């Protein structure tokens, strides 16, 4: 009987832990570009990196782009600010990613997507 009770507690604990899929929201603030480039080259690197990872990148105005990622039922939207020396990626909105504006938490996959985009931009610069 004790084994069943312990097993039940273990199963409930594991289920609760696996349900914890929200983490603090990850934004990129002024990621330094090691080899400064023209703003146009930076935008080109952002666009190429986004396309490589499935993001749709569009220019809003010089120094600001919008990135949208559609994966299954999930949507992530970010603003990407850039100049010749740095870039930033900031959360705008999402769908089906459990965003909590008060706690500033979101589904853990969002953070991975933004970190992958950050790394891919950096590689291309």
Q: Does domain 22-124 have CATH number 3.30.310.80?
A: yes
Alpha carbons 6 and 11: distance in angstroms, whole number: 9
- Judged against a pLDDT cut of 50, whether residue 98 lies above it is answered with yes
Q: What's the pLDDT score for residue 12?
A: 44
pLDDT by residue (tens digit) across 27-74?
Answer: 999 999 999 899 999 999 999 999 999 999 999 999 999 999 999 999
pLDDT by residue (tens digit) across 10-30?
Answer: 454 444 444 457 899 999 999
Query: Which DSSP string corresponds to 25-94?
Result: PP-EEEEEPSS---HHHHHHHHHHHHHHHTEEEEEEETTEEEEEEEETTEEEEEEEEE-SSEEEEEEEEE
């Amino acid at each position: 009987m004790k084994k069943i009770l312990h097993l039940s507690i273990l199963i409930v604990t594991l289920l609760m832990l696996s349900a914890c899929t929200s983490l603090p929201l990850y934004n990129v603030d002024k990621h330094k570009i090691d080899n400064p480039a023209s703003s146009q080259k930076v935008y080109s690197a952002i666009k190429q990196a986004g396309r490589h990872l499935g993001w749709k990148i569009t220019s809003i105005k010089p120094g600001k782009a919008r990135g949208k990622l559609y994966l299954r039922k999930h949507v992530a939207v970010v603003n990407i600010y850039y100049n010749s020396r740095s870039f930033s990626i900031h959360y705008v909105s999402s769908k089906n990613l459990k965003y909590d504006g008060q706690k500033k938490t979101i589904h853990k996959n969002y953070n991975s997507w933004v970190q992958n985009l950050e790394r891919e931009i950096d590689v291309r610069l």
